[in-house]
Structure 1
Amino acid sequence: MAADNSFDVVSEYDEQELKNALDQTRREIATRYDFRDATAEIKEEKGELIIRVDGDLRLKALRDILESKSVKRGIDLRTYDWGKAEAAGGDTLRVHVKLRKGLDDVAAKKIAKFIRDTFPKVKTQIQGEAVRVTGKSRDELQEVMTSLKDLDVERPLQFENYR
């Protein structure tokens, strides 16, 4: 009797690479001419970034810099959940950027339903912020992984604990 094979579908980012991308962004902002004598701050708090800038143009430029540094560091752009710009006093704007980590209930249920509908021989189980996928055939699990890469979920997906 063959043992079942399994893997976990998770959504995570490398925190050290995020810190490196933020440091590179801060360094570039400090040296760029269009940010000279301007307010441009990035604060890291638990699970989010708080960005404070002088105006919309600088906000767009800072976002472009942060996203380009993140891509170079291997951080998926779907990790960032950009909020709306709000007035922060003194002609500055504040933006709260939530960092998506883990699968919420909606995304986990969407993934589980997609797998159940597409691959009837594979079982799914939602375990907190991950989805465990179990099946007898390794080839079928590989097919599940490739089809999940094309699934439109608002967060990056990784596959762990492949056994």
Structure 2
Amino acid sequence: MPSFDIVSKTELEEVDNALANMTREMSQRYDFKGSQAKIERKEAEITIHADDDLKLKQMHELFQGHLARRKIDAGAIDYKTVEKAAGQSVRQKAVVRQGIDKDVAKRLVKEIKDGKFKVQVAIQGDELRVTGKKRDDLQAVIEYVKGLPIEQPLQYVNFRD
């Protein structure tokens, strides 16, 4: 029986490369000279330190640009609220999304079932397994899910006949 998996994975090595390129560019830019701005990653959590809100906004734009160059979808980063630090400086945490969370998975299952496809969808941890009798049904599901407004980047892997 043909099947495939819907997953959401982000290569942390590519995120590291984007961060390294961003740090290099920040060290060369005039508007960041003498600034205490920095960005660092621990596991799947990124911490952005900036002197003020303007620098934070510039760092966001730089980060998004470097992620796009490394072919990482901007939706893979989940930004938390901005926190005030010492003086005017600000700090913001961001999380690299790995896996499909329960709410999005349930919504995807509901959308696929409402689409009246002849497939079965099962939630397996942080991914979805879609099985059907025909390969064409599975391809139709992939096209349908690609058209849905989901903020998280999805990949379609493990296609088996």
Number of residue pairs matched? 160
The residue that corresponds to 1:50 in the other structure is: 47
Amino acid paired to 1:52: H
The one-letter code sitting in structure 1 at the alignment partner of 2:6 is: V
- Pairwise CA RMSD: 0.9
- TM-score by length of structure 2 reads 0.96
1:135 aligns with 2:108: no
1:85-114: per-residue Cα shift (whole Å, max 9, x none)?
111113210001111110111011011111
SS in 2 for 1:38: coil
Equivalent residue number for residue 125 of structure 1 = 122
TM-score by length of 1: 0.95
Q: Deviations over 1:17-37 (max 9, x none)?
A: 111101000000010000000
Unpaired runs of at least 5, structure 1: none
Moved over 4 A (4+): none
Aligned mates of 1:70, 1:79 — CA distance in 2: 10
Distance 1:119 1:34 in 2: 55
CA distance in 2, matches of 1:29, 1:44: 16
CA distance in 2, matches of 1:125, 1:158: 16
> Could you tell me whether the CA contact under 8 Å between 1:119 and 1:144 is conserved in 2?
no
| Partners of 2:117 and 2:137 within 8 A in 1 | no
Seq. identity, %: 39
Answering whether residue 30 of structure 2 is matched by residue 37 of structure 1, we say: no
